[in-house]
A and B are shown apart, each in its own frame.
Chain A
Amino acid sequence: MSPLTEQQAKEYWRRNVSLMVKLMVIWFVVSFGCGILLFDLLNQVQIGGYKLGFWFAQQGSIYVFVVLIFYYAKKMAALDREFGVEED
């Protein structure tokens, strides 16, 4: 059985979903946003030999994905501890 009361379980889930939504917005913005929809606009900015839109599409989005996952794992580990639901 879950060690949480119904109220706590709801709160835990709400905070998980809210973190997830924030990170998924970033996920969407760096790939579909910067890499595809805003491609032409961002390409007006040049960083070294990279046009910015091109950099996001072929490099930047991937780096951001990695950071997002580790950030999520870290935040969730803290949330698990806060609610006392981490595994031993």
Chain B
Amino acid sequence: MELQTLSYLVVGATFALYLGIAFWARAGSTKDFYVAGGGVHPVANGMATAADWMSAASFISMAGMISFMGYGGSVFLMGWTGGYVILAMLLAPYLRKYGKFTVPEFIGDRFYSRTARVVAVICLILCSVTYVIGQMKGVGVAFSRFLEVEYATGLLIGMIIVFFYAVLGGMKGITYTQIAQYCVLILAYTIPAIFISLQLTGNPIPQLGLGSTISGTDTYMLDRLDMVVTDLGFNRYSTDVRLSTLNMFAYTMSLMIGTAGLPHVIIRFFTVPKVKDARSSAGWALVFIAILYTTAPAVGAMARLNLMQTIEPTPGEYLVYDERPQWFKNWEKTGLLAYEDKNGDGLVQYSADPATNDMVKIDNDIMVLANPEIAQLPNWVIALVAAGGLAAALSTAAGLLLAISSAISHDLLKGMIAPDISERQELNASRVAMALAIVGAGYLGLNPPGFAAGTVALAFGLAASSIFPALMMGIFSSRVNKEGAIAGMVAGIGITLFYVFQHKGIMFIPGTEFLGSMQPNWFMGIEPNAFGVVGAIVNFAVAYGVSMVTAEPPQSVRDLVEHIRIPAGAGDAGGH
């Protein structure tokens, strides 16, 4: 069958499935809407969390980033998984025990302050909005590349689908569609990986293939890759450190604590019935995430080797441009690949030296998107990759939109502006907030402001430097008080934004960088995306310092801290 028709069929079938689930899992109460009724099985919640977590960036971009960064790409692999250990041990069980609906609600109660709650809402909206723009772009891009519809039309279709299940079902609808989306995305990711590993190394398990020899030879795949890339002047794949050891350390730590502080991930643990389930559910989430995350480095390395060998089959013998394969032509059309014959010999020379390199553009995303074509896999696999990319982007967008809309309807409206509204009114308000959030996110996806490019990385820095320390101190200290927490959050997020804007411009607007006479990465050689951990340290230090010189928290707050540490009597989420 034609690839085009097949893609429409596969994507259409998955969308029909999501809508069917949306209709079946409608929300009847605010508890359904915010925490899916609080009765989701820990394994099911783990699967939904995995889909919620793995975004367009994980699915489409990560393997490509590893492909070109080699060992340096490990920061994403360790950073985006290690955070779950922190979540499982340091945050999720206690926040589940506390048993309310939102992250700012905990911060507001623990620090007995409306101001603290408002600051937390602002931090939450800042990181969730920056994150959701990336997903909306992912939806538009996946549609336009695979189904050849306009970017804007694709985005609109995506918005309508999310609108249906998120507005109707809230967290309940989102949870059950995310389970379906996980199945779609993991199949779409692993099937091509298995094929490629089999072709290249004869081992069907990519995690083992990466450490195997190339079929028919006794050269290890990674050694061959190291040799091929260093011959062309690139850094050695398996030892290519990103900037410095300290920078890799800071980057990994920022992504870990950012993961643990992202509200859309934390609220997933409010949906399980018990504290015990919150602990094991984090383990299941990581199992489902690890399937993709341990496959990604194999995809990255194998795709890089395939690409290099297509361009230069044997050393010194280059691909003739006019004889380039079909996938090369297809992806040139999208602008993700670009060729410029610098020496006019009609051959494709690819090297690290910009003066002789003919491959002027190889986009990271190619490594996953074009991978099945490069490996000459059947059309249905390519169609599946399209559905997988869309599932990844939609599931993450829905989780983020829920975090944003519940902060608006529950924390701002019910918590502050109109505490007297009935449950029915709050449910309606949360639906309106969700609808507005979707329209807002769609608008930003269509007209990405200057800051669209670096946004996802920024979201981690913001969560790491504001929400994570506040939650940690709220659980592990009964001495940190409202003055300390507020000052800490403001200082942490403030210094992180300052460092990022200094490098990348105010609100990422080009030309507004203000490094002055300072070198880039002036703070100990740490790049802006890795700065969240420094912001977090500032947050902790300021919060403790200010708390020590101001009044102790009242007895009721110290009782609350004791209360959340013991699982018994968790009650339902939302029970007071």
Residues in A lying within 8 Å of B, measured CB to CB: 2-4, 9, 12-13, 16, 20, 23-24, 27, 31-32, 35-37, 39-40, 43, 47-51, 54-55, 57-59, 61-63, 65-66, 68-70, 72-73, 76-77, 80, 84-87
Contacts and interface: CB of A to CB of B under 8 A. Distances in A.
Interface residues of B, number: 52
A87 B276 contact: yes
Contacts of A27: 82, 85
Given A9-B562, A12-B566, A65 B279 contact: no
Interface string B538-573: 000000000000000000000000110111111000
Interface of B: 66, 71, 73-74, 77-78, 81-82, 84-85, 88-90, 93, 207, 210-213, 220-223, 238-239, 241, 245, 248-249, 252-253, 274-276, 279-280, 282-283, 286-287, 290, 293-294, 297, 562-563, 565-570
Q: Tell me if A's interface is mostly helix, strand, loop or mixed.
A: helix
Contacts of A50: 210-211, 222
B567 A58 contact: no
Contacts, number: 150
Contact of A54 (B71, B245, B280): B71
A71 B322 CA distance: 57
Contacts of B211: 47-50, 55
Contacts of A73: 88, 276, 279-280, 282-283
A69 B566 contact: no
Nearest to A57: B74
> What 9 pairs across the A-B complex have the smallest Cβ distances?
A49-B220, A57-B74, A69-B283, A85-B568, A73-B279, A49-B211, A58-B297, A50-B211, A48-B211
Contact of B77 (A12, A23, A58): A58
Nearest to B282: A69
Contacts of A62: 77-78, 81, 290, 293-294
Contact of A20 (B89, B274, B287, B293): B89
Contacts of A76: 93, 276, 279
Contacts of B565: 9, 12-13, 16
A9 B561 CA distance: 12
A35 B74 CA distance: 8
B563 A31 contact: no
Nearest to B90: A20
Contacts of A86: 276, 567-568
Contacts of B89: 20, 23-24, 69, 72
Given A3-B568, A57-B77, A62-B77, A49 B85 contact: no
Q: Which of A3, A16, A66 has the most CB of B within 10 A?
A: A66
